[in-house]
Amino acid sequence: MSHASVSAKRPGSLKGATLPKWFSWAVAAGSVALGLGISAAAGLDSSIQWALIAALLFVAGSYGISARVEGRRQAKDRVVTSLIWVAFLLAVIPLASLVYETVRRGVKVLDGYFLTHSMGVVADTETGGGIYHALLGTLEQVGIATAIAVPIGVLTAIYLVEYGRGRLAKAITFFVDVMTGIPSIVAGLFVLSLWIVILGMGYSGFAGSMALAILMLPVVVRSTEEMLKLVPNELREASLALGVPKWRTILKVVLPTSVGGITTGVMLAVARITGETAPLLLLVWVTNFINANPFQDPQASLPVYIYLQYANSGGSGAAYDRAWAGALVLIAFIMILNLVARGIARWKAPKAGR
Amino acid sequence: MDISVKNDTAPPTPLPAPARRGSSARGATRPGDRIFLALSRGSGIFLLVLMAAIAVFLSLRAASAIGKDEANFFTTFEWNPTGDPPAFGIAVLAFGTVVSSVIALAIAVPVSVGIALFLTHYAPRRLRGPIAYVIDLLAAVPSIVYGLWGALVLVPHLGGLYAWLDDYLGWTGVFEWNGGAPRALFTVGILLAIMILPIITNVSREIFRQVPRTHEEAALALGATRWEVVRMAVLPYGRSGVISASMLGLGRALGETMAVAMVLSPTFDIEASLLDPGGGTFAQNIASKFNEATTDGRDALIASGLVLFVITLLVNGTARLIIERRKEFSGANA
């Protein structure tokens, strides 16, 4: 790489010699070319191998040249910089692959028929069938879970921010944090042991909803708490100074101010539980038929549908196609929820002066 | 600069001050206030009761199952709760859970710290927002989709890597591969690493962001390179945060169910090789065995779930306590 442009220390300059900005790009281009050349010469055909060779050449090359021109410390800095870029690229590869494969394989059978028909009379290895029963089940189960978790979660957050002092509030805060870490299958087992084993109820969508509500609660509490804390104190004081009772202050001043953020938090929580599979498998059981009643008998749901199509496929392409299409619908649903939630957050962000 | 930093670290809006003596005492006499306080306090208490109930009811069923167990619950290499006599133990599950989670952490922590540093110190400023968004998306993908991707895309692509590991590291015994489908604990570890990457990245990023600007500027003023700034100012400040972030990730990895159940082909024994199919984890075992379980079988699964619950509780509690010591941030929103 051209050493001419990197003169040694300029007289009177405090800085040591530095390599020009295009140095990294030049080394990168050089090592890719060399890597391709070596792998062609050695007859390697895997694209991973030439990329690895090129990456090694890049690190070694930039370290060597930089160490000679700029000094060891700068050279080390360059190596770490490239390692950190590698870490980032490593994380992007699986995500890109996941999105690409899901879309590519999912669009095969995804159409109006797929969305409006159930698997009722379709054998697992046949083509045809759809996710209508699963969509219905997911919407009902998630809806009930939201209806249970949101009031309790928001009220708990109100308690923590507006009233909470002392040991009770501390304990609640700590256990809310710990609750975020409960594995979904444990929440499922809890509802199973209480609702189905001890109380003797049957499998139903509602049982699944209870487990989902447990998983949703801590997320709602945390996000609502954060939002309530952002409400400027002056608003509360102004309202209280006018003689408005505290509960009306909370309902009419605090909550409306933070409603955008709370909605965002709830939607993110919904997005998170929509993909839960394990508790539903334990509590709602499985069915290929449409069941609109969430309080009785097994119900289907989108995540469990994907699992069934995968597990019962017997390696058949038709079932795998349906599984991918179901995954595509699920991801699309969650992404849309995420995007809308972020949109609301940006649109309704409380002006807290920060 | 200095002033804005101070503003940032100032405690978020202080709690309402007037709720002291006069107003709250008078406020509490109003029926509306009393009802509202009771409702919100009740919700908080409900949450505590719920946590206690989870522990109690799982313990009840688990006690009934372990009472019937003829073998040692902790050391038996067998899962036969409906046999005569019933014999089951969690040794294999504990081994598989720990090993796959440790592999996941070993892969995910360095990469996540790298990405977090990338986002806070290395990436071009314009790219930071979009990249952080991509990481968030990675967190939003449900585990069932990771499982599907892992089973149908990742597994077929790992043969090459495993053959290579077998060639060069096979002599250790740990990386021996018999050429079977790579549905092994190591595969599970890789998949779990991808799944816990976002949470570790997000929490670490929050911490690296809070490194006092003055520390970094002091290092820069002494002529430090960017890496030296990171090593001397950023990493020491963020160490405890990274540890707790890793523990949060560990908690996720320990309890992951569907992705593991779809990728692993389970057996009930412990093998030295991590690349050969076999082993199992707590959560995977529950999901896989559940549909064929009778009442006794279900109770046995609940007993193993209780062990998982206790382990994740300890891991998450420790992580939260570490975070708690530094009140400024919380990982719960990550």
CATH number at residue A180: 1.10.3720.10
For residue A319 the two structure tokens come to 């079932």
**Any bridge partners for residue B88, and if so which?**
B79
- As a whole number of angstroms, the distance between CA A129 and CA B106 comes to 42
Would you call A277 and B144 a contact, using CB atoms and an 8 Å cutoff?
yes
Distance from CA of A187 to the nearest CA of B (A): 8
Asked if A37 and A126 sit in the same domain, the reply is: no
Q: Any CB–CB contact under 8 A between B127 and chain A?
A: no
DSSP H or E stretch at residue B239: helix B235-255
Residues of A in contact with B330 (CB under 8 A): 177, 222
Q: Any CB–CB contact under 8 A between B153 and chain A?
A: yes
Position A195 scores a pLDDT of 92
Would you call B15 and A158 a contact, using CB atoms and an 8 Å cutoff?
no
Asked if A50 and A138 sit in the same domain, the reply is: no
For an interface test with A, which of B3, B9, B15, B135 has the most A Cβ atoms less than 10 Å from its Cβ? B15
- As a whole number of angstroms, the distance between CA A253 and CA B47 comes to 26
In a domain, A42, yes or no: yes
How many separate helices (H) and strands (E) can be counted in chain B? 15, 2
Distance from CA of A230 to the nearest CA of B (A): 6
For residue A276 the two structure tokens come to 């839960």
Would you call B13 and A175 a contact, using CB atoms and an 8 Å cutoff?
no
In a domain, A16, yes or no: no
Cβ atoms B164, B280 nearer than 8 A:
no
Position A191 scores a pLDDT of 94
Would you call A183 and B254 a contact, using CB atoms and an 8 Å cutoff?
yes
For residue B326 the two structure tokens come to 């530094």
Residues of A in contact with B302 (CB under 8 A): 189, 192-193
In a domain, A150, yes or no: yes
Asked if A156 and A177 sit in the same domain, the reply is: yes
Q: Any CB–CB contact under 8 A between B29 and chain A?
A: no
Look at the block and give the residue holding tokens 């890789």. B190
- State which residues form the domain around A241: 116-347
For an interface test with B, which of A13, A70, A185 has the most B Cβ atoms less than 10 Å from its Cβ? A185
Q: DSSP of A269-288, one letter per residue? A: HHHHHHT--HHHHHHT---S
Q: Any CB–CB contact under 8 A between B315 and chain A?
A: yes
Choosing from A60, A84, A106, the residue where a domain stops is A106
Please give the interface size between A and B, counted as residue pairs whose CB atoms are below 8 Å apart: 301
Q: Residue A201 above 70 pLDDT?
A: yes
What's the mean pLDDT when you consider all of chain B? 84
Q: What percent of chain A has pLDDT over 70?
A: 92
Q: Residue A4 above 70 pLDDT?
A: no
Position B68 scores a pLDDT of 86
- Name the DSSP class of A120: T
Asked if A285 and A329 sit in the same domain, the reply is: yes
Cβ atoms A201, A292 nearer than 8 A:
no
Band of pLDDT at residue B40, cut at 50, 70 and 90: very high
Residue A70: what residue type? Answer: E
**Mean pLDDT of the region A224-241:** 92
Tally Cβ neighbours within 10 Å of residue A165. 10
Would you call A189 and B39 a contact, using CB atoms and an 8 Å cutoff?
no
For residue B105 the two structure tokens come to 């952490």
Would you call A246 and B308 a contact, using CB atoms and an 8 Å cutoff?
no
Would you call A331 and B142 a contact, using CB atoms and an 8 Å cutoff?
yes
Instruction: Give the 3-state secondary structure of residue B103.
Output: helix
For residue A172 the two structure tokens come to 């609640």
Tell the burial category of A327 from Cβ atoms under 10 Å away from its Cβ (0-12, 13-18, 19+). buried
Would you call A231 and B286 a contact, using CB atoms and an 8 Å cutoff?
no
**Mean pLDDT of the region A73-77:** 87
Cβ atoms A286, A305 nearer than 8 A:
no
Q: Residue B29 above 70 pLDDT?
A: no
> Residue A83: closest CA among chain B residues belongs to which residue?
B114
Asked if A181 and A203 sit in the same domain, the reply is: yes
Position A253 scores a pLDDT of 92
Would you call A307 and B144 a contact, using CB atoms and an 8 Å cutoff?
yes
Residue A290: what residue type? Answer: I
> Residue B40: closest CA among chain A residues belongs to which residue?
A155
Lowest mean pLDDT among A74-88, A209-223, A320-334, B13-27: B13-27
Look at the block and give the residue holding tokens 């390179």. B225
Please choose, from the candidates B110, B183, B255, the residue with its C-alpha nearest in 3D space to the C-alpha of residue A180.
B255
What's the mean pLDDT when you consider all of chain A? 86
For residue A132 the two structure tokens come to 């209508």
Asked if A99 and A236 sit in the same domain, the reply is: no
Asked if A129 and A93 sit in the same domain, the reply is: no
Distance from CA of A49 to the nearest CA of B (A): 11
In a domain, A11, yes or no: no
For residue A30 the two structure tokens come to 């050089």
- As a whole number of angstroms, the distance between CA A144 and CA A208 comes to 9
Would you call B255 and A183 a contact, using CB atoms and an 8 Å cutoff?
yes
Asked if A77 and A158 sit in the same domain, the reply is: no
* Residue B32: partners with Cβ closer than 8 Å, 6 or more residues away: A245, A247, A248
Q: Residue A2 above 90 pLDDT?
A: no
Q: Residue B326 above 80 pLDDT?
A: no
Position A6 scores a pLDDT of 46
Between the alpha carbon of residue A235 and those of residues A85, A239, A250, A263, B57, the distances in Å are 46, 6, 10, 20, 44
In a domain, A138, yes or no: yes
Tally Cβ neighbours within 10 Å of residue B31. 10
> Residue A176: closest CA among chain B residues belongs to which residue?
B47
> Residue A280: closest CA among chain B residues belongs to which residue?
B287
Cβ atoms A54, A34 nearer than 8 A:
yes
For an interface test with B, which of A88, A198, A262, A274 has the most B Cβ atoms less than 10 Å from its Cβ? A88
Asked if A129 and A270 sit in the same domain, the reply is: yes
Distance from CA of B317 to the nearest CA of A (A): 6
Position A150 scores a pLDDT of 96
Band of pLDDT at residue B145, cut at 50, 70 and 90: very high
Choosing from A106, A141, A160, the residue where a domain stops is A106
* Residue A36: partners with Cβ closer than 8 Å, 6 or more residues away: A50, A54
In a domain, A12, yes or no: no
Band of pLDDT at residue B332, cut at 50, 70 and 90: very low
Query: pLDDT digits over B182-193, tens only?
Result: 899 999 999 999
Band of pLDDT at residue A45, cut at 50, 70 and 90: low
In a domain, A17, yes or no: no
Q: Any CB–CB contact under 8 A between B26 and chain A?
A: no
Nearest to B43 among A156, A218, A275 (CB): A156
Q: Residue B23 above 50 pLDDT?
A: no
Distance from CA of A273 to the nearest CA of B (A): 9
Position A350 scores a pLDDT of 54
Asked if A250 and A327 sit in the same domain, the reply is: yes
Cβ atoms A31, A61 nearer than 8 A:
yes
Residues of B in contact with A84 (CB under 8 A): 114-115, 117-118, 122
Q: Any CB–CB contact under 8 A between B33 and chain A?
A: yes
Cβ atoms A291, A299 nearer than 8 A:
yes
- B 41-70 → A contacts, CB under 8 A: 41-48, 50-51, 53-54, 57-58, 60-61
Look at the block and give the residue holding tokens 């509202």. B36
Band of pLDDT at residue A354, cut at 50, 70 and 90: very low
Q: Any CB–CB contact under 8 A between B190 and chain A?
A: no
Asked if A88 and A131 sit in the same domain, the reply is: no
How many domains is chain A built from? 2
Band of pLDDT at residue A46, cut at 50, 70 and 90: low
Query: What's CA A307's distance to the chain center, in Å?
Result: 19
Nearest to B305 among A77, A164, A186 (CB): A186
Choosing from A40, A71, A106, the residue where a domain stops is A106
Which pairs from A309-318 meet CB under 8 Å and 24+ separation?
Answer: A309/A124, A310/B147, A310/B148, A310/B151, A310/B152, A310/B262, A311/B262, A312/A124, A313/A124, A313/A125, A314/A124, A314/A125, A316/A124, A316/A125, A318/A125, A318/A126, A318/A127, A318/A128
For chain B, the first-to-last Cα distance in angstroms comes to 27
Q: Residue A353 above 50 pLDDT?
A: no
Asked if A168 and A45 sit in the same domain, the reply is: no
Tally Cβ neighbours within 10 Å of residue A99. 18
Nearest to A178 among B154, B256, B320 (CB): B320
Q: Residue B2 above 90 pLDDT?
A: no
Q: What percent of chain A has pLDDT over 90?
A: 46
Would you call B45 and A168 a contact, using CB atoms and an 8 Å cutoff?
yes
> Residue A286: closest CA among chain B residues belongs to which residue?
B291
Query: pLDDT digits over A133-145, tens only?
Result: 999 999 999 999 9
- As a whole number of angstroms, the distance between CA B327 and CA B134 comes to 27
Position B7 scores a pLDDT of 43
Across A301-315, b (16+ Cβ under 10 Å) vs e yields bbbbbbbbbbbebee
Nearest to B44 among A156, A246, A248 (CB): A156
Residue B126: what residue type? Answer: R
Instruction: Give the 3-state secondary structure of residue B184.
Output: strand
Q: Residue A315 above 80 pLDDT?
A: no
Distance from CA of B145 to the nearest CA of A (A): 6
In a domain, A15, yes or no: no
Would you call B43 and A159 a contact, using CB atoms and an 8 Å cutoff?
yes
